[in-house]
Structure 1
């Protein structure tokens, strides 16, 4: 491909890039940082776009790689200017500073030993990167901890505005405020962002799973068993009448996650009664043993959700939580199929989320 580029065989270069992306994406991922570096050094646009799409969703692929400090400046700029980069802004700043220092081997190791000339060297090195940092999205704590020690590499007016904004966000400033990065966040000790995106794809009945950065829902943690307790009263106190609820549970001693989605919620005032919905489902997420996730949608809507005074979350008695750490799976009744062969599963932990539409996506 490099030879084809050398002889300006652009059509062949384009075909070779497409072939690699469509047929050898796993190999590209295994050699990600090298491929990414090469794509910028030789201007392979299709490979650049492929890699950028991967980095947006999985920034650690490049930022945590051993080759990060050798990344071409153009590559770093192309990454940090992405609005949907799934990385907190204080981390973006950390990596940019790390990269800038790595380009200047003679800078003192200890920041306390830096003189004005050293800051000017770093400022010059990062002149094309610094405009893409979302300074006004960084917490006050991180401003003082991370930004302030390097204030000399920033324009004085920008430093003034950062401090002013941190104290009073409503006050007018002259510096440009870049839009917040469109980051999908979920506070879970059980499911990953990828798994959350799969669940929301089922909610919206999408045939193709949402990409992480395009997940249209926020996950607000309502309950975590290991923190709040596993008793039924805890569930009812925290989850009563909450709508659009996702329940996930980690099975003890197994790499298995089960759960369900309830759009209408559970209600204390409807004890020992079923609630009707066409949109609930239960599931078991894929793992090393289960190659594909198991999705089981409700087939008897009038028996989709059951409000039981002695149980926690209950999906029509097909999947429900008994007192303590026990989830039960009955024979198929209200839902399409079983999500687990065993009838009783002891869990390590479980979480309940209320989801809502994300803004600015």
Structure 2
């Protein structure tokens, strides 16, 4: 029978480190004036780290009076103590460290080739310190990018930024991002940002590199050449065909002098010629595209998760539905007849409406159809929602399945308590309690609303 006394063994080695008995290594950690001597034992360091083994066996560490001397100005005394303590007793405590300190610790253990900690610290950062990426996304991306062993953290950072690109694109340090990293990001199909914003971000970055103002009327031929060269590698990565016509005209076409002329010609043809398809060699859309004037494509994963009653939002590349625009009130007619002409016999739909004079959006989901006249349809899967300023989101699934959806020829969407009378005058009655109270006005005017067919992929 074998017995294990690992706790006692670990404790004994920690005592050895603290007492420094028989030490033969002196490490000068940190920079002046904060340099601190740390004493250790070469045999223990060698057996736990290939870095120290190489340092002592190849004699590139200085040796004086029988003791090895190492100087590590790039690692603070505090962090080096944490590392040495782990080498001796196998224990490490990270909870008292802030995100930037943990990242510095990760850099240090990678340099010292302590692979157990490289994996452990990455896992800790991902699980417990996700907010650290918000503090300095550019610096963190570049740090992680430079280390091949930080694979898990690299993937996490990329996915996090692709899910919430404002973390990076709205950062003051965005313009300091290195070109290879920006190129890598723009290649991502899951970058969750409208293409026009990506284009504007690229321009901001480019003008900062060239120290130029964003005013084409003031550019010289030399300026234009500089910008063209700076943008050249990125232009093929922008999905110009996914940019709305108005944005193309006001935010892209005005830069025609710095864009390839064949690209400008093809885009003009695409926007002007009816039913003109994009060229076959263009990149696919980054994410499922929502042909909406009311909400951005970033809402698709959220809507899809509501439809499937998921607790968390779908990933961009794993959405099981297509959202096909069926009806837009300011395009097709603000009346019940136009609504039913476009939306009957289409199956499940989701509708979105903007309340006039506000940023408030309301909407609902009908998993059945809009066929029929003056009839209630039964379902337990319908819902309504209320979005204020794009942040305050309320969702309510049907309370009374027998009064989930009402179909009437003269009305638009009629989802229990919330309904369109056929014009832009809408009503919401909470006394019936068909759905939870969503804090929507009782009577209000709609500026525009859209209906999308939900197609299972």
- TM-score, normalized by the shorter chain, greater than 0.5: yes
Is contact 1:89–1:133 with CA below 8 Å preserved after alignment? yes
Task: Please show how residues 278-297 of structure 1 align to structure 2 within 5 Å.
Answer: 278=379, 280-285=381-386, 293-296=395-398
TM-score (norm 1): 0.69
Tell me the residue number matched to 1:262. Answer: 366
Task: Please show how residues 1-361 of structure 1 align to structure 2 within 5 Å.
Answer: 1-41=106-146, 44-87=150-193, 89=195, 91-105=197-211, 112-115=219-222, 121-122=226-227, 125=230, 128-134=233-239, 141=249, 144-146=253-255, 148-151=256-259, 159-160=261-262, 163=265, 167=269, 177-189=282-294, 193=297, 195-212=299-316, 214-215=318-319, 216-220=321-325, 222-224=327-329, 229=334, 235=339, 239-248=343-352, 259-267=363-371, 270-275=372-377, 278=379, 280-285=381-386, 293-296=395-398, 299-300=401-402, 304-308=404-408, 312-315=412-415, 317=416, 319-321=418-420, 324-331=425-432, 338-340=435-437, 345-347=442-444, 349=446, 351-357=449-455
TM-score (norm 2): 0.57
Alignment partners' CA distance in 1, 2:154 and 2:322: 29
Task: For residue 222 of structure 1, report the CA deviation from its aligned partner.
Answer: 1.9
Where 1:181 maps in the other structure, the secondary structure is: coil
Is contact 2:407–2:414 with CA below 8 Å preserved after alignment? yes
Task: For residue 322 of structure 1, report the CA deviation from its aligned partner.
Answer: 5.2
CA RMSD of aligned residues (A): 4.6
Task: For residue 103 of structure 1, report the CA deviation from its aligned partner.
Answer: 2.8
> For each residue in 1:231-267, what CA deviation from the matched residue of structure 2 results, as whole angstroms up to 9, or x when unmatched?
6566556655553222345679999765432233323
Alignment partners' CA distance in 2, 1:357 and 1:99: 38
Is contact 1:256–1:287 with CA below 8 Å preserved after alignment? yes
Task: For residue 2 of structure 1, report the CA deviation from its aligned partner.
Answer: 2.5
Where 2:113 maps in the other structure, the secondary structure is: coil
Moved more, 58-67 or 254-263: 254-263
5+ residue gaps, structure 2, are: 1-105, 271-275
5+ residue gaps, structure 1, are: none
> For each residue in 1:112-144, what CA deviation from the matched residue of structure 2 results, as whole angstroms up to 9, or x when unmatched?
3233xx566556555654553456767785764
Aligned length: 336
Q: Relative to 1, partners in 2 of residues 1:356 and 1:226: Cα closer, same or farther, differing over 3 Å? A: closer
Is contact 2:301–2:314 with CA below 8 Å preserved after alignment? yes
Is contact 1:274–1:307 with CA below 8 Å preserved after alignment? yes
Q: Relative to 1, partners in 2 of residues 1:213 and 1:351: Cα closer, same or farther, differing over 3 Å? A: farther
Is contact 1:282–1:339 with CA below 8 Å preserved after alignment? no
